Amino acid sequence: MRLDIITIFPEMFIGPFSYSIVKRAIDKGLVEIHLHNLRDYATTKHKNVDDYPFGGAAGMVLMIEPIDRCITHLKGQREYHEVIYLTPDGILLNQPLANHISTKQNLILLCGHYKGIDERVRQHLITLEVSIGDYVLSGGELAAAVLSDSLIRLIPGVLGDETSALSDSFQDNLLSPPVYTRPAVYKDWAVPDVLLSGHERKIHEWQHEQAIIRTQSRRPNLLEF
Ligand code: 6GU
């Protein structure tokens, strides 16, 4: 997978991509992430990337020209399967959507800011709009980092068998069961006996049961269908 991320704050991605599973995936060459500073595609003397909205409203709008120049530059080098705009009015990211997007090879992620981007970008250049939840973030960068992480962990070879994405919460529409580690008793708080029994079938039954109980009490909507 190759991710090309267009942003006015490329430094915001350094942290999220420098640790753990995402870092390992990059180091193993299973994903390539390229950050593009939108300002590098500005055409004005002062490298402007935003301007006042026509019709007058609060806030600034990212201009079409730098965005088009950046996307056109990238498309000149390879084919892209989606050009994704991160926006609170996009379709809600969930595990099935992450699974679907993760099957694509080359993706452009465009991060918006301020009051958004010129609507003509969305009409003519964007193929998919994604939101990461019903709340407002200051920009698309954190959302793009979240989407990227959810995609990268699904790339074959990124997770070992033990941590297989198939056992993740939501992958089977169930939340994950509780987990414990040593000590078996801390103060007078004990780990459930079954987990110490060594009885593999009973342990799996218990974990599945707990996953259902947890889903029923916390996220009953996940069980409806
Ligand atoms: Cl993708 N962007 C912004 N700015 N806020 C959000 C979001 C995206 N998803 C949820 N809130």
For the chain, domain boundaries: 2-152, 169-224
Q: Tell whether ligand 1 has an atom less than 6 A from the beta carbon of residue 150.
A: no
Strand ranges inside the chain, DSSP E: 2-7, 32-37, 50-51, 61-62, 82-92, 106-111, 128-131, 185-186, 189-190
* Whether residue 169 has pLDDT greater than 80: no
Q: Cα(119)–Cα(116) distance, rounded to whole angstroms?
A: 8
* Whether residue 189 has pLDDT greater than 80: yes
* Whether residue 166 has pLDDT greater than 70: no
CATH homologous superfamily of 2-152 equals SPOUT methyltransferase, trefoil knot domain (3.40.1280.10)
The C-alpha R_g of the chain, in whole angstroms, comes to 22
148: nearest Cα among 21, 11, 8:
21
Residue 170's pLDDT is 74
Measured by CA distance, the residue closest to atom 3 of ligand 1 is 137
Q: Tell whether ligand 1 has an atom less than 6 A from the beta carbon of residue 139.
A: yes
Q: Tell whether ligand 1 has an atom less than 6 A from the beta carbon of residue 183.
A: no
Residue 58 banded pLDDT, cuts 50, 70, 90: confident
- Judging by DSSP bridges, how do beta strands 50-51 and 61-62 pair with one another? antiparallel
Domains 2-152 and 169-224 share a fold: no
Count CB neighbours of 48 within 10 A: 14
Residue 95 banded pLDDT, cuts 50, 70, 90: very high
**Which ligand 1 atom lies nearest to the CA of residue 135?**
11
3-state secondary structure of 151: helix
CATH 1.10.1270.20 fits 169-224, yes or no: yes
